[in-house]
Structure 1
Amino acid sequence: MEHTTANERTLNKKAHTDSRVLRRLRRDKWLYALLLPGVLYFLVFKYVPMWGVVLAFKNYQPFLGFWKSEWVGLEHFRNFFQNPDFLRLIKNTLLLSFYNLIFFFPAPIVLALLLNEIRVSLYKRTIQTLIYVPHFISMVIVASISYVFLTTEGGVVNELLQQYTGYKIQFLADPHWFRPLIIAQTVWKECGWGTIIFLAALAGVDAEQYEAAIMDGAGRWRQLWHITLPSIRSTIVILLILRMGDVLDNGFEQIYLMTNALNREVADVFDTYVYLMGITQGAFSYSTAVGLFKSVVGVVLVFGSNFLARRFGQSGIY
């Protein structure tokens, strides 16, 4: 009797939950209709293509097709880890990611803090508009601008160097200049756009805290250190965790456009290597294995960073 009563309670609870969900769907049907294109986008372009990772475990032959190609297990991963290019790719990719974390990641935070101190609204909006514009410029255009300014054959910077110092610098060909150039392009193009999230976080800081700090005699630096930064700390931590997922992802287009025969030794990263092996040489399974390795490392770093953030008392991403 008690068992039957428990089953009835479970069924009634489930029916009540289903009824509540249906009422919510009917009430908010137009909101769910607006959500549908986004859901379809992720299903079609993000989740369905994930079946392609099976290629990493097959010796894919186009004439045999996706399913009939030979299953080789972890062979492509072993070949990749034993390849002399592996250590070079790891070094180049991690160095670029390290420089991005050191120089690019803090840049939008600093810029947002500076913008937040501007009290003239018109001046602030004008600066924001100007620093947002580079984000919408194609990387092809950015690479072209870099070439126009830095080439030794009539480049503006080298012409000035020639005039004042008597010599020119091979910015585009010297391997030592490749990484600083990539970081400089990234900061110039994306720094302004990255301030949007931090400015939104700063807008949510309680103004009464600043008033109380002023009453206690705190200056601008004290307010920044004890009120502003702690208020946006959770936002910084979340974005840092998400950034860790892109440690092995330096972006294909920018690196490819700035690579040439003279700087290739330091320019080759996982993204360009996948393109080289998969598209130009037709090693589809091998390049898929490389891409899968990069994705797995990104997932591990995200979960690891989130775990450390929670251990240190931060909210994390889940």
Structure 2
Amino acid sequence: MSGVLVLARIRSRRPGGRPAGRGPSPERSLASHDNPAVNMGAVMPRLTCALGPDSAGDLLAGIIGGAADALDLAVYEVGPSYAGPIAAAASRGVRVRLLVDAHAGANAASARLLAGCGAEVRVWARRPAEAHWKLLVAGDATLAVGSGNLIARDAPHPAAGRPGTREWWLAANAAPALAACARAALEAAWGEADPPPAAWAGAVAEVPAVGVPRPAVAALEVDVDPGALELVTGGRAVTALLAARLGGVRHRALVTVPYVHPHVTAVAGLLRALAAAAGRGADARLLLGGVPEPADLAAVRGLGLGVRVMDPARSTTGHAKGAVLDGAAIAGSANWSGAGLGANLEAALAADDV
């Protein structure tokens, strides 16, 4: 990385003056576009939890379609099914900025579709880190963080009855300071990104088998306490968030990720924390999105963890990255890999007391 981002954590206080923030010290300097956690809220935000393929696509298309003045998107991959709504937003006068990763795939086609519509597009090519986050900011008070790309497979829209990968998104409105922090993280990466290249390099990712999960799960909307939301960006910051939350679990720790790489130090630490929660008597379970490598499965089972694997023949392939830890829900973009919990540009949003 050529840049270093320095951001102060902004901590809100719940009614009664109790600090709502958790985690590391209020201010620190971080490389690789990691920024400290931020807890925000002076008004009552509304939180929406949506799963894909059930309802996430409709949520995301609604945010894009409803943007009135500014729309910033930092997404690993964007396909033509979302390039159209993004172009429409730019055409109606919304200031649109799209930051995508430099890998080959749908991004090349979408960049061509967006050329000339007024949307600004930049590409993150600062390897070895990938721009793997899935982060949307609309206007000055709405943001969404999740696990899936803006492509038809991860977030079909309209969503009803259409196949796709299992995803998990959290969106908050009436959260202006949280949205400002998300936009600041995007701004820092934007400054190091480049215009779309003439030719896109790299192999196209393998397409997983997908199905239609039954029953379909409708989006859940709840009003949350002003201090209940915590945003982190950067793979290392996601690791710190998960480690801190797992360390305090007393009752349940339900984790879902596409896969785990137990040989990676950060992943091994989180798996040990999950096992420790089980040792304290918590209901600790791990749901993987697909069949793991035999060595990875053996390492997880060696910790005594309960493990299950999603089956596209019965449901769909899992691509969600999230956890329910006691009363908190966390959704994000980071895989449990060296890159996902390390140098990658990632994002996670935690909601307490839901």
TM range (shorter): under 0.3
Q: So what's the TM-score if we normalise by structure 2?
A: 0.21
TM norm structure 1: 0.23
Greater per-residue helix proportion: 1
User: Which one has the largest radius of gyration?
Assistant: 1
